[in-house]
A and B are shown apart, each in its own frame.
Chain A
């Protein structure tokens, strides 16, 4: 396992570009997935069963099928259906967002439902409307409880962005595979990619644990 540093040096700029795209895909996936997830989570909590049904089906589909299948479908079928051509980066962002939204929706719902119902009753007994009680009392507490599971989901999302390499989006894993293809070496590209992913996920956990501590009462 003698590491060939020279080919690593040659590929360094590509790994850098790839890492930036990985970060971009992940951030876009987190942002869009969170917004969509909140919306779907609220939808699933609707009391009317017919209205909440589509949201339930959405979650079932995206949680119940492999992300690899989803990215293939979206890349080769869905995106071309709308734009007439394939676009790997768009497909990757779309897949990551749609997939994580399903999980985030459930995290959001669980967070809200974990808040003691006495909190809503106390708020309402003071004359607050349902929306005010949600906004000032329930959601701030639910959000705090949602940080650890959200952190998990974001970490999964960073790692799963590597699937984008299979539709040739030039992110980190794509360049790792390219390096393997060019030099028939496996240790150098994949250990490098693994370490970079580790740095990304560790940075994210660090940010989230800081946030959690800042929101702590006492």
Chain B
């Protein structure tokens, strides 16, 4: 479903990703962990080309997104993304946030987009906030709206870039709950997170990244309980 082949990314002379190769199967939940500055967010942002790719290839359902002829807007409709800072549109109501892309990109009627939007809001438990503006929501509510907004495009893959890192501790649970539900429904997900509990419980596979490389990848139980690499051990001893 996603195939990343020797991906490299530099910002100027600073090489952030040094040869990353990963394959993600349909319905798989891959959790990426690692210290800050390890390149995990950049890796995620390369998958929908929010960062230009310096070298290597990324295939989304067989389409090479590094090919100049690929219509990246089309690919992005299949790949939803949730950001650390939510990035809701503050000038639009919650329901309008969700309706905008389906209407403008998929040309769905306002009525249908609203129906779908309300359905998604119900799913994330925020139906009563449909007519509120994002500024009046708590962090956890904002992130749940952001998830609903991404889901409105009916993506086949969801990318989560530290979705709970900007939240107050008591709000982390409600967002993780929505993500668990999504995983249960069979969504293909790549999740960059510091929530080791979530990684253990929901992840099919955990990737540990450091200094632009994949140091180790394994099932959560193996990786957390029997890490093979020294760097993995050192990192886990600090966060667990």
A binds B: yes
Query: A218–B105 Cα gap in the complex (Å)?
Result: 27
Q: A218, B77: Cβ atoms under 8 Å?
A: no
C-alpha gap A132/B48 in the complex (Å): 18
Assess whether A127 is in contact with B87, with CB atoms less than 8 Å apart. no
Contact partner, B149, options A116, A126, A129, A140, Cβ 8 Å: A126
Q: Is the CB of B90 within 8 A of A127?
A: no
Set B74, B76, B85, B90: member contacting A126, Cβ < 8 A: B76
Docked-complex contact B90 and A125, CB < 8 angstroms: no
Evaluate whether A144 and B153 lie within 8 angstroms (CB atoms) in the complex, with A125-B81, A136-B100, A218-B133 already known: no
Is there a chain B Cβ closer than 8 Å to A60's Cβ?
Answer: no
Known: A129-B73, A218-B136. A144 touches B105 (CB 8 A): no
User: When the two chains form their complex, are residues B89 and A122 in contact, meaning their CB atoms are under 8 A apart?
Assistant: yes
Nearest-neighbor residue (CB-CB) of A217 within chain B: B133
User: Is A85 close to B, CB under 8 A?
Assistant: no
CA distance A218 to B93 in the complex (A): 10
- A141 is an interface residue with CB less than 8 A from chain B: yes
Q: Is there an interface contact between A132 and B105, defined as CB atoms closer than 8 Å?
A: yes
- Residues on A with C-beta less than 8 A from B100 are 126, 136-137
- Min Cβ gap B80→A in Å is 7
- A128 vs B81: C-alpha distance when bound (angstroms): 13
CB-CB < 8 A to A137: which residues of B?
89, 100
Contact of A218 among B135, B146, B153 (CB under 8 A): B135
Asked whether B87 lies within 8 Å of A122 as measured between CB atoms, the reply is: yes
- The answer to the question of B150 belonging to the interface, with a C-beta cut-off of 8 Å to chain A, is yes
B238 within 8 A of A: no
Contact of A118 among B74, B79, B85, B135 (CB under 8 A): B85
CB < 8 Å neighbour of B50 from A125, A141, A218? A125
Residue-wise interface mask of B (189-220) relative to A, using a CB-CB cutoff of 8 A (1 in contact, 0 not): 00000000000000000000000000000000
Most B CB within 10 A of own CB, among A116, A123, A127, A144: A127
Q: Report Cα–Cα, A123/B105, bound state, in Å.
A: 10
Task: Map CB proximity to A onto B70-111 as digits: 1 under 8 Å, 0 otherwise.
Answer: 000110110111010101111100000000110011000000
Task: Give the chain B neighbours of A129 by CB distance below 8 A.
Answer: 73
**Contact between B87 and A118, CB atoms less than 8 A apart:** yes
Q: Are A217 and B76 in contact (CB under 8 A)?
A: no
Contact: A127 with B77, CB < 8 Å?
yes
A136 to B100, CA, bound (A): 8
Q: Which of A105-152 contact B (CB under 8 A)?
A: 116, 118-119, 121-129, 132, 136-137, 140-141, 144
B105 close to A128 (CB less than 8 A): yes
The CA-CA distance from A126 to B158 in the complex, in Å, is 11
Complex-state Cα separation, A126 to B89, whole angstroms: 12
Judging by beta carbons under 8 Å apart, are B73 and A127 in contact? yes
- Residues of chain A with a CB closer than 8 A to B74's CB: 127
Residue of B nearest to A122 (CB): B87
Contacting pair B83 A118 (CB below 8 A): yes
Inter-subunit contact A119/B153 (CB<8 Å): no
Minimum C-beta distance from A130 to chain B (A):
9
**Closest Cβ neighbor of B85 among chain A residues:** A118
Partner of A217, one of B91, B105, B146: B91
The answer to whether B83 and A127 touch across the interface, beta carbons within 8 angstroms, is: no
* Nearest CB in chain A: distance from B102 CB, A: 9
**Do B135 and A128 touch (CB < 8 A)?**
no
CA distance A99 to B22 in the complex (A): 56
A123-B150 Cα distance, complex, nearest whole Å: 10
Q: How far, in whole Å, are A139 and B90 apart by their CA atoms in the complex?
A: 12
CA distance A28 to B240 in the complex (A): 67
**Known contacts A137-B89, A217-B90: A126-B83 contact under CB 8 Å:** no
15 more contacts with CB within 8 A, not counting A125-B48, A127-B74, A141-B89, are A118-B87, A119-B87, A121-B87, A123-B89, A126-B80, A126-B100, A126-B105, A127-B77, A127-B101, A128-B105, A132-B104, A137-B100, A217-B90, A217-B91, A217-B135
Q: List 9 A-B contacts (CB under 8 A).
A: A116-B85, A116-B87, A118-B85, A125-B150, A126-B77, A126-B101, A128-B73, A128-B104, A137-B100
